[in-house]
Structure 1
Amino acid sequence: MNSMVHKEWYLINEVEQLDSPALVFYKERITENIAILTKSISSLSRLRPHVKTHKNAEITRLLLEAGITKFKCATIAEAEMLGICGVPDVLLAYQPVGPKIDRFIQLIRSYPETFFSCVIDNTFSLQAIALAALSAGVKVGLFLDLNGGMNRTGILAGEDALKLYLQADLEKGVEMRGLHVYDGHIHDADLSIRKEKAAAVLVPVRELSRQIVENGLPQPVIIAGGTPTFPVYAEMEDLECSPGTFIFWDKGYQDAFAEQQYLPAALVLTRVISLTDATKITVDLGHKSVAAENVLQKRVYFLNAPFAKMISQSEEHLVLELEAGHGFRIGDVLYGLPVHICPTVALYGSASIVDQHQVTAQWKIISRERKITI
């Protein structure tokens, strides 16, 4: 009879063996999310997932096993992790400046089986990277970083962008590969609105691409978007897509982007450490254990305490209010779904891996560090 009792997906057998707070990855759900992703696009060659969410070698290898060969990252450590895994094609979607240029060149020399690219949006950076590459005897792939409205980095698609692209094509030591546009400002819950805004972003980008070809250069690769606009760009055969959060999903994206059916696959585990009063409990999930950039009520959602209200949070404590008679006792475990999983993962050195309710391994969050070896 007991074998017929439903068991919630997130519950962990012998959970008392896990110290808290802990980061937990559910392997079967990660595998399912990869399958959902690969089925949602016409060709795996158009996928370039961002590794900033998981920062993990084992997950990278799962993606490689699924047939994905191109990846995107934001730090030298993430790029090195991809090199360690033998990824064929890596884009550092960050313009290296100062010592990062030398580190990037060292990375290229250390992992010759991987072709590394980075982005540029100005002449100074172009010339500095080209000079470093030429001096080291390596070839650096370059993508022109375009400002699609986020107003963070990038050059506006237009006359100046064309001039910079053509100038870069003449530089020795570098190889222009295409255009990169990130649209993180587009995160409307309504998919039709996201489609309209994404279409507007692409108009000048495609025009720039046309002008590049008109000037006798090869058709540039266009890398566009993140997770919110992935369903839009996945339908456009001329684009590479770079979702990242899909691998774990989180409460924020689960609520905002209902058309995407990925499964929550990473949780934070916490314990009751104090019964503060008749309606309040304190757990060991502070700022250091879950991303705290959002307002207090938008940091974590507890699967086994869905009506818990967050009262206060400090470095090592989180105070929750529940109804009287809530039944929680000292040492009880709460399973938290972060609202923003990417920076939450970066708070942990390793994750416990759960498969069929059992903890089976520990995976290091290897590229949470600013430096692995380079």
Structure 2
Amino acid sequence: MNSKHWIDRIRTSTSTVSSPWYEVSNVDQVYSPGLLVYADRVQANLDRMIEMAGGADKLRPHVKTHKMPAIVELSVASGITRFKSATIAEAEMTAAAGAVDVLLAVQPVGPNIGRFIKLIQRYPGCLFSCLVDDLSVLASLEAAFELAGLQGSVWIDIDVGMHRTGIAPNDSATELVRSIQTSDHVRLAGIHVYDGHLHDTDSEKLRRQFDEAVKPFWIWFEDIQRASGGQLNLVAGGTPTSAFWQANAQARQVKVETGAGTTVLWDAGQPTFSPSMPFEAAAAVLTRVISRPTEFDVCLDLGHKAIASEMPLPRVSWLNFDADHEVVGHNEEHMVLRTKQPCQLRCGDVLYGVPVHICPTVALHQHAECVRDHRAIEKWPVVARNRMLSI
């Protein structure tokens, strides 16, 4: 999609409207349940991300948060050209939107190896890479790249304690490095570290957790760098620890790319397990009251299909509803609130809220309503919510 027109409008916005930031003046034209993305706030978050990292070249934001070409295009216009993705569809969407370097932040196995090869062939102007943490998968990648007549790029995925993916920074990881370095059709792009298990609102507590978790990694990394005879690229950190990684890298004279993604849209959950960060909610859900079974019960059209349900209740932080209440029901199409006192909400009334977890919430919507100057101005397709695009 050609987005130059809305990128220009975002940057020349001069709105002085004093209404709450989330209110949409033409809300009667917005279907519910709906996803709203506030373009000016997205841009502000991108600017903060660049400032915190120390430059756009130190960012590799994860597109899994938004899955939208429009936000990739806005990022590229801000100087960010390298990205992470969680699926081949996200990688394809990102390349089609103008990225020049995309890391598939997963180790491809089975038929996805063939899809990854096709992705590289389809978009020759973009450098694609993937993660690897297993010698047998490396052998499969080597064979696939050889058959295709290509040289592939891989990042070794290092586990610093999350134990979800990766390989510990030990002799096995060193063997993997050496195997890649002696491969004919796979080159080592760098080292990838994700530390999603590290989170705390207390910055000093989190720093101590971080220092302890990454100590073995830095010892291993420095040994590998010396043995390699050159500087290795590093993509590291989630949202809570991103500043620590940049500080460590600066002290060690190593370049690290921050791979966090939530920061572009933010959500209500992140501040509950991260130190204070200067980002603002740039997305919200819009829901309407669809039934009033009793004077205390309010039924909304915000079911599991409209807001991520993997988090404990409540799954949304309301922006324009502060009555004392609890969520007593959450089903496919409905969310039921029960207030402590008789509630004045009527059928058709609109509620705005920030999701507790934005990433899986976005994936539930075909498009987001782009809001600027309090008006929904166009629809931004959530293209990569699909698992397969053209490949």
Alignment TM class, shorter chain as reference:
over 0.9
- Cα deviation code 1:200-233 (max 9, x no counterpart): 2322222222222332343211211111111222
For residues 14-93 of structure 1, the aligned pairs below 5 Å read 14-93=26-105
Aligned mates of 2:100, 2:69 — CA distance in 1:
14
Q: After TM superposition, give the deviation of residue 178 of structure 1 in Å.
A: 1.3
Q: After TM superposition, give the deviation of residue 325 of structure 1 in Å.
A: 4.2
Q: After TM superposition, give the deviation of residue 313 of structure 1 in Å.
A: 0.7
Q: Partner residue of 2:360?
A: 343
- Cα deviation code 1:294-336 (max 9, x no counterpart): 1222x11111113442111110000012243432111000002
SS at match of 1:33: helix
Q: After TM superposition, give the deviation of residue 86 of structure 1 in Å.
A: 2.5
Aligned mates of 1:75, 1:217 — CA distance in 2:
33
- Cα deviation code 1:82-127 (max 9, x no counterpart): 1102311111110000000000000001111111110111110001
Distance 1:372 1:318, change over 3 A: same
**Percent identity between the aligned chains?**
40
Q: Is the 8 A contact 1:296 1:312 kept in 2?
A: no
Q: Partner residue of 1:109?
A: 121
Q: After TM superposition, give the deviation of residue 133 of structure 1 in Å.
A: 0.7
Q: Is the 8 A contact 2:201 2:276 kept in 1?
A: no
Aligned mates of 2:173, 2:233 — CA distance in 1:
15
Q: After TM superposition, give the deviation of residue 242 of structure 1 in Å.
A: 0.8
2:68 maps to a residue whose letter is: N
- Cα deviation code 1:7-60 (max 9, x no counterpart): 111010121111110011011110111111111122321111111100011100
Aligned mates of 1:234, 1:346 — CA distance in 2:
30
SS at match of 2:140: helix
Distance 1:101 1:196, change over 3 A: same
Aligned mates of 2:229, 2:17 — CA distance in 1:
63
Pick the aligned partner of 1:245 from 255, 258, 262: 262
Q: How many residues align?
A: 371
In the alignment, is residue 184 of structure 1 matched against residue 196 of structure 2?
yes
| 178-187 or 229-238: bigger deviation | 229-238
SS at match of 2:269: helix
> Unpaired runs of 5+ in structure 2?
1-14
Aligned mates of 1:207, 1:5 — CA distance in 2:
54
Pick the aligned partner of 1:314 from 331, 339, 346: 331
RMSD, aligned CA: 1.6
SS at match of 2:389: coil
| 205-214 or 68-77: bigger deviation | 205-214
Q: Partner residue of 2:276?
A: 259
Distance 1:210 1:257, change over 3 A: closer
Aligned mates of 1:112, 1:355 — CA distance in 2:
35
Q: Is the 8 A contact 1:209 1:219 kept in 2?
A: no
- TM-score of the superposed pair, with normalisation by structure 2: 0.92
Q: Partner residue of 1:355?
A: 372
Pick the aligned partner of 2:241 from 222, 225, 229: 229
Pick the aligned partner of 1:151 from 163, 166, 174: 163
SS at match of 1:83: helix
Distance 1:219 1:96, change over 3 A: same
Aligned mates of 2:157, 2:275 — CA distance in 1:
30
Aligned mates of 2:339, 2:46 — CA distance in 1:
36
| 220-229 or 316-325: bigger deviation | 316-325
Pick the aligned partner of 1:292 from 309, 316, 333: 309
Aligned mates of 1:194, 1:152 — CA distance in 2:
20
Pick the aligned partner of 2:321 from 305, 327, 336: 305
Aligned mates of 1:148, 1:293 — CA distance in 2:
25
Q: After TM superposition, give the deviation of residue 155 of structure 1 in Å.
A: 0.6
For residues 110-129 of structure 1, the aligned pairs below 5 Å read 110-129=122-141
Q: Is the 8 A contact 1:86 1:113 kept in 2?
A: no
SS at match of 1:296: coil
| 207-216 or 185-194: bigger deviation | 207-216
SS at match of 2:216: helix
Distance 1:215 1:357, change over 3 A: same
Q: After TM superposition, give the deviation of residue 130 of structure 1 in Å.
A: 1.0
- TM-score of the superposed pair, with normalisation by structure 1: 0.96
